[in-house]
Amino acid sequence: MQSSTATADVAGVPPRPQVAAHFASLEVQHHAARLGMWLFLATEILLFAGLFVIYANYRFLFPEAFAAASRLLDWKLGTFNTLLLITSSFTAAMAVHYAKEAKNKQVVLMFVLTIVMAAGFLVVKYFEYAHKFHDHTLPGPYYAYPGLTLPGASAYFTIYFLSTGLHAFHVIVGMIVLGWVTLKAMRNEFSYHNYTAVELGSMYWHLVDLVWIFLFPMLYLI
């Protein structure tokens, strides 16, 4: 990540980042940061891909139980959360647009809206989880829902809690990252020459959104 040290003391002008000693130019430095983020996102995709493979395997083994268990989820809440994340991806993308134009106040606004929608997503998940605990539709040996006793039902909710819990953790991490970038925008640090932090934070948030787009139909609709 490039340094945010200013190369000129001009009031109101975002600082131009300095090039680290091991990079040939600012462009190479930015490219290295993006490449590093793409590699990191690839490992995250592999992590969730393992859960998708587990889901596919157990759904093949227990198709009736998985179909019945999915109907115990509230697809309306899942749809609302999907709309929240899709909208938050838009505001995150707009933050990158404004950062390139050195409109740091708009960057702050876009990321604050993104973080608020992320918090809304977590609140909805809290109510969903609370309902699961109330009905005892819990993972593994803690499953005790009398309305569905088919073999494999407990496996479904094990996968449900693992995948949505891991995703919720990524939402929290994303909120922290975007919060840090927002503080930098409040210090008027971003411009066309220095917006990589905004871009990388937005890329991470798009991953969070993308994973949920796969989880939502897999768990709630299929």
pLDDT digits (tens, 9 = 90+) for 69-98: 999 999 999 999 999 999 999 999 999 999
For residue 54, give Cα distances in angstroms to 14, 79, 150, 168, 207: 48, 24, 19, 19, 20
Listed in sequence order, the DSSP H helices in the chain are 26-61, 63-70, 75-100, 104-135, 153-186, 196-216
Say if CB 109 and CB 94 are below 8 A apart: no
∠126-71-206 over CA atoms, to 5°? 50
Give the integer Cα–Cα distance in Å for 16 and 7: 6
Whether pLDDT at 3 is above 50: no
- pLDDT of 109-127, one tens digit each? 999 999 999 999 999 999 9
Whether 7 has a pLDDT exceeding 50, the answer reads no
Q: What is the pTM of this model?
A: 0.87
Class of domain 26-221 (CATH, top level)? mainly alpha
Contact in structure between 198 and 96 (CB atoms under 8 Å): yes
Locate the domains of the chain by residue range: 26-221
Angle CA 83–86–89, to nearest 5: 150
The CA-based dihedral angle spanning residues 112, 114, 120, 123, taken in that order and rounded to the nearest 10 degrees: -90
Residue pair 206/89 in contact by the 8 Å Cβ criterion: yes
Mean pLDDT of 139-164: 94
| Residue 61 pLDDT class (50, 70, 90 cuts) | very high
Contact 70, 197 (CB under 8 A): no
